[in-house]
């Protein structure tokens, strides 16, 4: 109801004040959900906007340090809320429970602010107003679960006139997301799994479960994560479309990926674009070593999700897969093997990729349920027919 009313008022307003109205609506909605976190968000946004304006207008040596200072500041802010509590709890072996509430959407808007500072410092962004910038940072449809929209894409992919096509595209995308979330997850995942949906229900009987059933369970949990996350992305993209924005896509049928490298061109694409631009490329430029660059990139992706051993291991797990495939592909090319280019090899790669990605679900599912790290290892060992610890 709020979205429908906001969309109506948005298109009735003069073009010049629409960004400001959208920013106010987003801030009001986010403030209703979490007042303190929203106040910090607005403060950080104003700091970034005016600091970058000052850096462009000033010729002082201090102005040249604006971008690194802003990036260090926002990462310290992220670290205090997201990484400091689990770090202290680990050092104290769980004897200290820190009750620090994680601000809403902090990981997503941190990456958007860093992107803004870097690209603004490089002079890659078109002229814009504070209202446009605030509407980008606070846009409520993509705030909590992405996509991680780039500011230049946000500016260049918006329409100034309402159209029926816009309404149809946005409405259909929202419907797709709702069907995924409320229908497909139940039909494809929860109904087949029955009482074994949660890892906590599976772990106590793990010794009596056949490895093939563990693989099916891991596969279905991966499918659940895909449907859940892509459903949110569909709804976010659909709602944004109603306001005239064509937000970047986040998924491109990753379940059809023919290799782990192909998978990471289809899964959470806006996050992958961010880390490739700001982690992989700088590291490869400094080290000239793709193995180091790939590893640090995926460790960053893991830590971005959560400061836990589960997610760190998940990042290292995918890094190992991408590194292995990359080195194997180079060897195949050097040896001039022809069979990897055969269409059958591509199709055979689909189930192999799904199996590998599903194995990583052992880390993410146990992390989401708060189970000890050892349970993720036990799940993988059981699936691989390795004696469990």
pLDDT at 197: 81
**Is pLDDT of 368 > 80?**
yes
Percent of the chain beyond pLDDT 70? Answer: 93
pLDDT digits (tens, 9 = 90+) for 9-68: 999 999 999 999 999 999 999 999 999 999 999 999 999 999 999 998 887 888 889 999
pLDDT at 43: 96
Q: Residue 106 and residue 68: Cα distance in Å, rounded?
A: 19
**Is pLDDT of 349 > 70?**
yes
Q: Residue 146 and residue 79: Cα distance in Å, rounded?
A: 20
pLDDT at 94: 53
pLDDT at 98: 54
pLDDT at 191: 86
pLDDT band at residue 204 under the 50/70/90 scheme: confident
Percent of the chain beyond pLDDT 90? Answer: 76
Q: Residue 283 and residue 285: Cα distance in Å, rounded?
A: 5
Higher pLDDT, 173 or 203: 173
Q: Residue 265 and residue 281: Cα distance in Å, rounded?
A: 16
* Alpha carbon separation from 307 to 81, 85, 220, 303 (Å, rounded): 11, 9, 25, 5
pLDDT at 103: 85
Q: Residue 176 and residue 150: Cα distance in Å, rounded?
A: 24
DSSP bridge pairs for 245: 158
pLDDT digits (tens, 9 = 90+) for 97-111: 555 667 889 999 999
Rounded mean pLDDT, 355-363: 96
Query: Which of 196-205, 283-292, 336-345 has the weakest average pLDDT?
Result: 336-345
**Is pLDDT of 318 > 90?**
yes
pLDDT digits (tens, 9 = 90+) for 153-166: 999 999 999 999 99
pLDDT digits (tens, 9 = 90+) for 266-276: 999 999 999 99
What's the per-residue H, E or C state across 287-345?
Answer: HCCHHHHHHHHHHHHHHHHCCCHHHHHHHHHHHHHHHHHHHHHHHHHHCCCCHHHCHHH
DSSP one-letter string for 230-283: HHHHHHHHHHHHHTTB-PPP--S-GGG-SSHHHHTTTSSHHHHHHHIIIIIHHH
Centroid of chain to Cα 297: 13
Q: Residue 206 and residue 5: Cα distance in Å, rounded?
A: 51
pLDDT at 93: 57
Say if CB 388 and CB 206 are below 8 A apart: yes
Crossing angle of helices 35-57 and 66-78, rounded to 10°: 170
**Is pLDDT of 91 > 70?**
no
Q: Residue 239 and residue 228: Cα distance in Å, rounded?
A: 17
Rounded mean pLDDT, 341-369: 89
Q: Residue 38 and residue 30: Cα distance in Å, rounded?
A: 6
Query: pTM value?
Result: 0.93
**Is pLDDT of 370 > 70?**
yes
């Amino acid at each position: 109801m709020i979205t429908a009313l906001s969309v109506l008022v948005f298109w009735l307003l003069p073009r010049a004040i629409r960004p400001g109205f959208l920013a106010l609506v987003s801030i009001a909605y986010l403030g209703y959900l979490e007042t303190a976190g929203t106040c910090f968000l607005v403060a950080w946004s104003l700091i970034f906007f005016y600091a970058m304006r000052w850096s462009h207008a000033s010729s002082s040596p201090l102005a040249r340090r604006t971008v690194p200072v802003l990036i260090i500041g926002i990462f310290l802010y992220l670290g205090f809320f997201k990484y400091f509590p689990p770090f202290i709890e680990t050092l104290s072996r769980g004897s200290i429970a820190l009750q620090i509430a994680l601000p809403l959407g902090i990981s997503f808007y941190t990456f958007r602010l860093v992107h803004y500072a870097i690209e603004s410092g490089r002079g890659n962004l078109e002229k814009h107003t504070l209202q446009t910038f605030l509407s980008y940072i606070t846009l409520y449809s993509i705030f909590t679960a992405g996509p991680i929209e780039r500011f230049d894409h946000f500016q260049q992919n918006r329409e100034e006139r309402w159209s029926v096509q816009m309404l149809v595209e946005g409405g259909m995308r929202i419907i797709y997301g709702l069907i995924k979330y409320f229908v497909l997850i139940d039909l494809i995942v929860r109904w087949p799994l029955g009482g074994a949906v949660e890892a906590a229900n599976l772990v106590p009987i793990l010794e009596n479960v056949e490895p093939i059933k563990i693989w099916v369970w891991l596969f279905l949990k991966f499918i659940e994560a895909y449907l859940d996350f892509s459903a949110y992305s569909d709804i976010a993209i659909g709602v944004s479309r109603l306001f005239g924005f064509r937000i970047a896509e986040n998924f491109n049928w990753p379940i059809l990926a023919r290799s782990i490298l192909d998978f990471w061109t289809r899964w959470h694409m806006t996050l992958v674009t961010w880390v490739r631009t700001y982690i992989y490329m700088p590291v490869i430029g400094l080290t000239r070593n793709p193995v180091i660059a790939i590893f640090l990139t995926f460790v960053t992706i893991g830590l971005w999700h959560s400061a836990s051993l589960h997610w760190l291991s998940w990042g290292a797990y995918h890094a190992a897969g991408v590194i292995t495939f990359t080195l194997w592909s180079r060897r195949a090319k050097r040896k001039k093997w022809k069979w990897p280019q055969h269409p059958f090899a591509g199709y055979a790669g689909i189930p192999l990729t799904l199996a590998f990605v599903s194995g990583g679900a052992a880390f993410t599912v146990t992390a989401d349920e708060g189970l000890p790290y050892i349970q993720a290892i036990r799940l993988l060992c059981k699936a691989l027919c390795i004696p469990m610890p």
